[in-house]
Amino acid sequence: MWILMIITLQLTNPVHIVYADMVESFSSKENCIERANNIMDKAYESGKPVPPQINLCCVPLNLGNPYV
């Protein structure tokens, strides 16, 4: 299982996480990446690109399976 996370960073030294939240969960890495790309594309197409301090990432959820 994969989770799509949104992470807001403070980009001054030292860089640190200001906010993090789970957006959605997915059964595959590919579906997670596709959704993240879709969110980024829609933001860009709307004329409001995602600012550099906002990051979307797909994270494997450890459910006790070493071969996630």
Q: Quick: pLDDT tens for 21-56.
A: 999 999 999 999 999 999 999 999 999 999 999 999
Q: What is the C-alpha separation between 20 and 23, in angstroms, rounded?
A: 10
Across-strand partners of 2? 26, 60
Across-strand partners of 26? 2
3-class SS string, 7-45: EEEECCCCCEEEEEEEEEEECCHHHHHHHHHHHHHHHHH
> Contact at 8 Å (CB) between 6 and 35?
no
> What pLDDT, on a 0 to 100 scale, did the predictor assign at position 61?
85
Write down the pTM of the prediction.
0.80
pLDDT confidence bin for 63, thresholds 50/70/90 = confident
